[in-house]
Amino acid sequence: MNLERPLTGRVALVTGGAMGIGFAAARHLAQRGATVIIADRQGAEQAAADLRELDLSAHGTTVDVSSEDAVNTLADTVIGQHGKLDILLNNAGIYSSLKPAPFETLSVDQWRRVFDVNVMGIFLVCRALLPLLKSSEHARIINISSGVAFKGNPWMAHYVASKGAVISLTRALATELGSHAITVNSVAPGFTLSDGVHGNPDLVAGVKEPSLRNRVLARDMLPADLTGAIDFFAGDQAAFITGQTLVVDGGAYFH
């Protein structure tokens, strides 16, 4: 095994991989030797091109993970272009565009949209790619949840509930897919200053200061802070770990 590139020969799909946490993870997995497929609603092809400029193996494809037809097309693309899948990182989600709001002011449409992407998206992608994962000797599913699922943060009830569902789905899939030697784990970030978050001043104003105050490691959290945990679950060192959620938030929540 190439110790510096232990994922050589493996194919990884990163949803929501064009920017922020997803792009940081895609770049890291590619640097570790994987061929990475970046899937996103926009910017996927450019993000993949940026990685190829670094002499990394990457491909981009446009997809809306909340659309069953689009996800099925994504699966066909992965099968046609690569014929295999070893690592699935379900990162696509709605957060950075949200504005903190009292529970009673949330509309049904707001609630459904968050769940369609954050929860239904994982269901659709996992279901569509499962045949490929079942044929892999190193199958890993990694879901990005959030520490808010444990803390119950206020003013974001739809988001908090969706990430709680991601953790529950992670556990259910781990139980069901264990017989196929597919591990299913979750990484739960704290408040991360990603590109999208920087574009939402209301969110930064309401969340950044409390997040810093509650952390043992009192500094801003960046997308690169997640790559180590994702790499761990993606590699052979976590081959006998499944159904777990690793909180990465600088010590704001002890799980």
Q: Give catalytic residues, as residue numbers.
A: 159
Which pair of tokens denotes residue 192?
């991360």
Using CA atoms in the order 170, 3, 28, 160, what is the torsion angle rounded to 10 degrees?
Answer: 20
Could you tell me if 166 and 224 are in contact, meaning their C-beta atoms sit under 8 angstroms apart? Answer: no
